[in-house]
Amino acid sequence: MTSADRFLLIIVMCILPVLYTRVWVGNTDANYLEIQAGNNPPVTEELFPDRTLHIHGPLGDSVIMISNGRIRFISSPCRGQVCVHTGWLQSTGDIAACLPNRISLTLLGQHPRFDAINY
């Protein structure tokens, strides 16, 4: 290994952690909430002021809490309550869904973490 190879290796080892944190870890706070309920068109809500939303789905109402720019499912009529156990969401690109009640929440912002998500 030549001295040029060593120099290049050191530069790459210094740049990789910076690239990793900028590209993959760059979480930004969200500005808006997109609510998809059943076959209805998506509804966009702001994350301020704090409030509670009741979203109607096929099984009944799901209760969503918006507080300090964060959101979460408080209750839902589904059996597993996976949506409630998801907890607080606050970063752009975070998603929570109650599949049995056909309600999904997506946080939107200026700099999304992903280009696309496939289910």
The set of residues, in sequence order, having a beta carbon less than 8 Å from that of 108 and lying 6+ positions away, is 30, 31, 32, 33, 34, 44, 92
Ramachandran sector of residue 91 (left: φ over 0; alpha: ψ -120 to 50; beta: rest): beta
Q: What residue spans define the domains of the chain?
A: 32-108
Full-model pTM:
0.73
- Is the CATH code 2.60.320.10 the one for domain 32-108? yes
Residue-by-residue pLDDT tens, the chain, 119 positions: 899 999 999 999 999 988 877 766 656 788 899 999 999 999 999 999 999 999 999 999 999 999 999 999 999 999 999 999 999 999 888 899 999 999 999 999 876 665 566 65
Q: What is the rounded distance in angstroms from the CA atom of residue 72 to the CA atom of residue 46? A: 14
What number of other Cβ atoms are within 10 A of residue 105's Cβ?
25
